[in-house]
């Protein structure tokens, strides 16, 4: 009995309940670099009059922050106004590798929805692809108000 209990506890600790289910939304090729945008499919929900999702951007080559910190991926919460085709983001977390694993190299705090600044996306842009993808889940029958839980807790 004790060994079963130990096995169960180990399994719960070893495998987090909220693993991200990343799906590629779009990719762009720039000279010498590929930029990929992903969405965590389990995070797409309604919040107030918006859609909200946990996203990730990955670069094939190192990027440099203003303080010369090197990173190759970031995760963030994106809010989508499907009627105006605009987006706002918050809670950016930057990672050294293309996959958001390990200790972040930089984190930005989450900003309340009412304080975010929405920006309209340009037709054909990566932002346009994100709006198009997430807003197709806008049906009133879709989940609402689900909290976003990422690898940070």
Full residue range of the structural domain in which residue 26 is found: 19-135
How many Å apart are CA 21 and CA 133, to the nearest integer?
Answer: 15
* Residue closest to 117 by CA, chosen among 78, 93, 87, 84: 87
How many Å apart are CA 43 and CA 51, to the nearest integer?
Answer: 10
Q: Residue 31: its pLDDT value, please? A: 83
pLDDT tens for each residue of the chain, 153 residues long: 444 433 333 333 333 345 899 999 999 877 889 999 999 999 999 988 999 999 999 999 999 998 999 999 999 999 999 999 999 999 999 999 999 999 999 999 999 999 999 999 999 999 999 999 999 998 755 554 455 555 444
Q: Is 129 exposed, middle or buried (0-12, 13-18, 19+ CB in 10 A)?
A: middle
Partners of 67 in the beta sheet?
none
Pairing of strands 86-95, 70-81: antiparallel
Per-residue exposure over 40-70, b if at least 16 CB sit within 10 Å of its own CB, e if not: bebbbbbbeebbbbbbbbbbeeeeeeeeeee
CATH number of the domain where residue 63 is located:
2.40.128.710
Q: Is 18 exposed, middle or buried (0-12, 13-18, 19+ CB in 10 A)?
A: middle
Identify whether 145 is part of a domain: no
Q: Residue 63: its pLDDT value, please? A: 95
Identify whether 47 is part of a domain: yes
Identify whether 5 is part of a domain: no
Q: Residue 32: its pLDDT value, please? A: 86
């Amino acid at each position: 009995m004790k060994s079963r209990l130990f096995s169960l506890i180990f399994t719960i600790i070893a495998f987090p309940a909220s693993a991200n289910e990343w799906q590629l939304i779009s990719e762009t090729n720039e000279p010498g670099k590929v930029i990929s945008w992903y969405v965590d499919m389990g995070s797409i929900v309604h919040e107030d009059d918006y859609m909200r999702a946990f996203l990730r951007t990955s670069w094939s080559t190192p990027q440099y922050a203003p303080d010369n910190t090197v990173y190759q991926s970031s995760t963030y919460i994106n809010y989508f106004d499907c009627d105006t085709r605009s987006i706002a983001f918050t809670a950016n977390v930057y990672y050294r590798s293309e996959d958001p694993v390990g200790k972040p190299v930089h984190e930005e705090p989450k900003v309340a929805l009412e304080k975010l600044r929405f920006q309209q996306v340009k037709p054909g842009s990566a932002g346009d692809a994100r709006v198009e993808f997430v807003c197709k889940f806008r049906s009133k029958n879709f989940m609402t108000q689900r909290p976003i839980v990422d690898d940070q807790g």
